[in-house]
Amino acid sequence: MSIEISIDSNVERIISYLLKGGARDCILVGGFVRDYFLGLPSKDYDIEVYGLTYEQIIQILKKNKFKINFVGQSFGTIKVGSGIDISIPRVESKSGVGHRGFNVSCEPNLDLYSAFKRRDFTINAIGIRIDRSIYDPFNGIDDIKNKILRAPTAAFCEDPLRVMRGMQFAARFRFKMETQTIELCKQVCNEFNTLSVERIWNEWVKWGVKGVEPSQGLFLLQKTGWIKHFPEIADLINVTKIHQDDFSANVYSDENAFDNTSRVCDIAVRIADRYNFSDNDRLVLIFSVLCHNLGKSENTIIEIDDLLFQKLSSSVSNIRRYSKLSDSSSDSGSGSDFDSDLVLSRFRLTQRFLSRLKPPLRVVDCILSIVGEVLTDYFLTGKSNIDDRSLRRLAVRIEPSSIRIWAAFCRAIIESRDDTDLKRSLIEQLDKCELRAIELDVIDSKPKPILRGRDLIQFGILPGRKMGQILDIAYELQLDGVFSNIDEAVIWYSNYSR
């Protein structure tokens, strides 16, 4: 069987040179091949070479003036340019538990079947040669058509990270994992702790950034039992009743908080597309939504080490929010019935969940500022209208995230509701908030100070503690709308200094 497929001319040249140099076979594998059968664009090429040693491949590439990179030398991988990887078949022999619990050796003379049976899923065990012929020993093309994740053989268990790869593949391609592969995942469930945090986080990133239906990834974790390794999320399965005045309340009587969270994650992806979010903003939004129901399980026990928290949360705004969250209700316009315990619980549990994954600190701070925002709960229950003062102060509190991401977060939760009248009302309010935030120039960042140190110097105020105190007072008044331009600010200071 052969197909019509466009292959980069450099890839064709490389394969031609390798075959002329004595390679028994050169075959395109991995994401490029899989994405072709999925109908998705792909620019990255993986060439697997049979019959040549690592050194022989290097010599052929150098002879033909290709720029090479040796970053994958220990795994028999050579990078050519920015999007071409060349590798030699590998053989792994189990020597312990986990992804490091086996010995790896390059085996140029390995046969194709033996190499392909060690791939993670059948959808990645398909090869295309330069003559466009296909090698598909495990019917991966059929599994792609049927949207099935299947392990080629029990060798799947040699690297437990493959379960997490399955999680993000399910989210990206809307695939379901078949029964026998689920059982293989369960067999390696207790090897989770052998995986590096970096590798786990990388799979979560692909789930969040590339996922088109994140719920499928979460359900896969549930079915395989791997959800237990993320206890804050797993606890949501036991939350079967959500109060009707809760901002995430729904009318689905058979929907627990885990199912609700999964559904809102899917909605958030569509909203991120609508907002044309960057990868970073999309990641912040999806993880904020993933954590928006945390703290609602009565069985959840929160034990947070304050020093650890401060190490993991770099921004002053989040440390202040963590320690004085209940005091923030005065800015929410919420009234005396504000449930600071729920917000603080959600905030702390999100921090604990993220502390295990160890994302970049800025990502942690952005997510925490969204889930810990006290105004959200009251706005989404229709109990709070947001005026200019509230918007300006929201932009300050929510830094280093933004009102744009906060609005997308609120919109995802609103669109998951079935209360049509409240949904319509909240969408209208949210549209107005976003429009007004754009007019106030606070949609993406907090307000820039109007009164600055250079303005005070003309009044004889030199840089130092006194100047800092005056500027702090001025900024607070600016947020309250006391003045909106430099002329009004100077008039205010003239009166203040008398």
Question: Which position has the higher pLDDT, 20 or 343?
Answer: 20
Q: Which CATH architecture has domain 9-158?
A: 2-Layer Sandwich (3.30)
Q: How far is CA 63 from the centre of its chain?
A: 42
Closest of 10, 84, 9, 5 to residue 37, by C-alpha: 5
Q: How much is the CA Rg of the chain, to the nearest whole Å?
A: 27
Alpha carbon distances (Å) from 231 to 161, 193, 295: 18, 14, 12
CA quadruple 352, 355, 357, 360: dihedral, nearest 10: 130
Q: Which DSSP string corresponds to 162-197?
A: HHHHHHHHHHHH--EE-HHHHHHHHHTGGGGGGS-H
> Is residue 278 scored above 90 in pLDDT?
yes
Domain boundaries, the chain: 9-158, 230-387, 453-496
Poorest-pLDDT segment among 18-22, 199-203, 249-253: 249-253
Cis previous bond, 360, omega within 30: no
CB atoms within 10 A of CB 452: 14
User: 258 with 218: CB under 8 angstroms?
Assistant: yes
Tell me the pTM.
0.88
Strand 77-80 versus strand 25-29 pairing type:
unpaired
pLDDT tens digits, 459-497 = 889 999 999 999 999 999 999 999 999 999 999 999 987
How many H helices and E strands in the chain? 24, 11
> Is residue 117 scored above 80 in pLDDT?
yes
pLDDT at 2: 73
Mean pLDDT of 111-122: 94
CB atoms within 10 A of CB 358: 13
378 pLDDT tier (thresholds 50, 70, 90) = confident
Non-local CB neighbours of 19 within 8 Å, separated by 6+ positions: 26, 130
pLDDT at 71: 65
Q: How far is CA 97 from the centre of its chain?
A: 28
Closest of 102, 209, 105, 107 to residue 160, by C-alpha: 102
Task: Tell me the C-alpha distance between 383 and 405, whole Å.
Answer: 21
What is the SS3 assignment for 458? coil
